[in-house]
Amino acid sequence: MSVYLDWAATEPMWPEVAELYTETLHVVGNPSSIHRHGQQARTLIDESREKIAQLIGADPMEIIFTSGATESINTWVKGRAFAHRHSMNPPVLLVPQTEHHATLDAVTWLEAAGFAKVSWIGVDGDGVVDCDQIADVLRGDEDADIAGVTTLVANNEVGSIQPVDDIVAIATQHGVPVHIDAVGAFGHIDVDWAGWHLDAMSVSSHKVGGPVGVGALVVSRDAAKFEALVHGGTQQTHRSGTMDVAGTVAFAAAVELQLGVVATERVRLEQLRDTLRQGLIASGVDLTVRGSDNNRLPHNLHITVAGCDGDVLLYLLDDKGISVSTGSACQAGVPEPSHVLLAMGVSDRGAKGALRFTLGRNTTPEDIGRVIEVFPEVVSRARAAG
């Protein structure tokens, strides 16, 4: 029996999206060409942009297609810093300590290269951003050149939903732009692009059942200036490069399907997640559930198991045909404690026993039952392995 519980890393493609994607791969024509084939390809991209914009409440002109979330995040974060390149002092970026590495590594590079300063924002024991600290930094640095605030909508490891409304309200009081990394939340909870009054938002195709290699940076029409990361052809505002016709078509189709079931799936996945949580706790294993108890992604369960190494647990579960993760797939194979858990106050030793279960549309009660059934044996073997 094969059980896939790593949906936060990548979602299996919707069957109808895979069919559409394969069909559209046969479309001939560069969408920037002015002949008939090129314009037919361009029409497919424009229709995809309009569909996504309509579904999320944006203007089609606000959608910039990218190669994925990492590029989208880097485009805004680095672009804001580069927009201040003529300033006497490097601009300041406010960044929670628990961001995805697409953000952390980008701002760390900016700081090391002298393009920006980073003001690290702490979190509480559930991994929720400290809004008071953001307010304190902005009040204390009123004379500083603030490039912006970036934050996850929901933490990609422990699943805690962040107070985006409060973060935006604080930033707006000081005239500071906000970017959100909505990658793990989009398609699982409500993401209010228009209502949050954001400057920018990053989303990804393969996190909603579309193909890998496609994403979008949504940029408000009145957003603060930022420099393009990729130059060459100005095929899109802020992004050069020949656009992926099949990828954008499939991305739009996946967004439509995912958002069409988000309400019903949220309830179903919460029930399955809670069953898994209760079953693992009832098994008698010494574990701790991490992240917010109530205000978390519906498909996410994150635990740490005392006396175990998360990688060993992962391998032993994989031997049973069960796929899970120890955290972000982007850091898989790196034998270091999770920076998210450390920022939450978990010890190095405790953080090493981390496991993340993420569920999806194909997850069944039988899948959950299988994990609960084998978990005590897996933990026992992991502890014996040291």
Q: Which residue numbers are catalytic?
A: 330
Token digits of residue 183: 């990658």
Q: What is the DSSP letter of 6?
A: B
H or E stretch covering 263? helix 245-282
AA identity, residue 102 = A
β-strand partners of 160: 296
β-strand partners of 150: 179
Token digits of residue 220: 């408000």
Cβ 39 vs Cβ 357: under 8 Å? no
Residue 128 has phi, psi (to 5 degrees) of: -95, 135
Q: How far is CA 146 from its chain centroid?
A: 24
Query: CA triplet 317, 183, 92: central angle to 5 degrees?
Result: 120
Cβ 153 vs Cβ 161: under 8 Å? yes
Token digits of residue 355: 């496991």
Rounded distance between C-alpha atoms, residue 2 and residue 323, angstroms: 8
Residue with tokens 């000081």: 174
Cβ 229 vs Cβ 26: under 8 Å? no
With a CB cutoff of 8 Å and minimum separation 6, the contacts of 164 are 151, 153, 180, 196
Q: How many CB atoms lie within 10 A of CB 341?
A: 25
Q: What is the DSSP letter of 60?
A: G
AA identity, residue 5 = L
76: three-class secondary structure by DSSP: helix
With a CB cutoff of 8 Å and minimum separation 6, the contacts of 142 are 174
